[in-house]
Amino acid sequence: MEMADDVGTIGWGDFVKVLLVAGTVTRVEAFPEARRPAWKIWVDFGAYGVRKTSAQVTELYRAEDLPGRQVIGVINFPVKQIGPFRSEFLLTGFPTTGGVVISTVERPVPNGTRMA
């Protein structure tokens, strides 16, 4: 576990550079080519468009459980090539001993709403 002292402090200007946005999962597919078990996940981020990612969340989430759920993603990282797949955003979550718990919103918000 990282402690606050390990990462240092950041200013407001650093935080606002990270584009954390709410979106709705529209599609999930198996990703058998991944080195570690993962899903291919497509999310509608409203005005930012539909983006896809590879996420290692198979321990806690079945593919059929994710469509329709609102999640939080970082959408301004560079595209990352993961085997034959191009990941276009980072799905946020919290690692636990049972698997990664996906970050969600407490109440529905419009897709594309930026975290403040």
Indicate the CATH number for domain 18-102.
2.40.50.140
- H or E, element range at 62: none
Give yes or no for a contact between 91 and 55, defined as CB atoms under 8 angstroms apart.
yes
Q: pLDDT tens across 85-106, in order?
A: 999 999 999 999 999 999 999 9
Domains of the chain, by residue range, sit at 18-102
Please report which confidence band the pLDDT of residue 66 belongs to, taking 50, 70 and 90 as the band edges. Answer: very high
Share of the chain above pLDDT 70, in %: 96
